[in-house]
Amino acid sequence: MPMFNLTSLRLCQLCDTSPRSKAGVCLDCWRSLPWFKQEVLRQEMQIWAACQYDYPLDRIIQQFKYQQQLHYQTLLSGILAELKYVGVQAIVPMPLSLPKLAERGFNQSVLIAQSLSHKLKAPIWQPVLRHAEHSQKGLTRQERLINIDSQFYLAPQQSLRCKRVLIVDDVVTTGSSIRALADQLEQLGCTHIRAACLAVAK
């Protein structure tokens, strides 16, 4: 009797025709993601971006976040784990405010950081919390930055555990949230703060 390998019969999550090869998708689909794998400069911070925020990744991220398509965690987490970086003591996912967390049920940045956390043997660390976002409408650029800055605060009784940290976010546009989070981590005493995201928007 030939042995059946059940996992080899599972089909790619994107094209649904070829067998899965990596992170829940087939090799063709994996290769045709909008790969970028470069650093971009935002708010005076170098942010490593795995991909461009383009098709099909833009739709996948939206379905993951807003339609609870959580089976994409394997793929998104696998994409971020392409980052090769040593010396990280902890991964700090971009925090969500409590109302947003309650509405969505999960923090997408925590989920997409899982594979990278295993690979780098660096735990997920959440020393910074976030207030509910206020509308940015009608604010000047300067006011927007102050508005974002005031959203982040240190969790009570937080003592420094890790100095070398990596911030993880899903999609980066202006980079102002990452900057504001990095400022809090600096206040806490972190000395090496790097940032990585799944996708960077043009």
- Binding residues vs Zn ion (CB under 5 A): 12, 14-15, 18, 26, 29
Can you spell out the DSSP letters for 158-197? -----SEEEEEEEEESS-HHHHHHHHHHHHHT--EEEEEE
| Terminal C-alpha separation, the chain | 54
CB of 33 to Zn ion, least distance (A): 11
- Three-state secondary-structure class, residue 16: coil
Nearer to Zn ion, 28 or 143 (CB): 28
φ, ψ for residue 180, nearest 5 deg? -65, -40
Which residue's CB is nearer to Zn ion, number 18 or number 89?
18
Residue 109 C-beta: closest distance to Zn ion, Å: 25
Query: Among 170, 138, 131, 169, which residue's Cα sits nearest to residue 152?
Result: 131
Per-residue CA distances from 74 to 48, 118, 129 (Å): 20, 13, 26
Closest distance to Zn ion from the beta carbon of 138 (Å):
44
Nearer to Zn ion, 12 or 178 (CB): 12
| Pair of tokens at residue 80 | 């971020």
Nearer to Zn ion, 71 or 134 (CB): 71
CB of 167 to Zn ion, least distance (A): 31
CB of 15 to Zn ion, least distance (A): 3
Residue number with CB closer to Zn ion (30 or 125): 30
Distances from the Cα of 146 to the Cαs of 96, 153, 154, in angstroms? 18, 13, 17
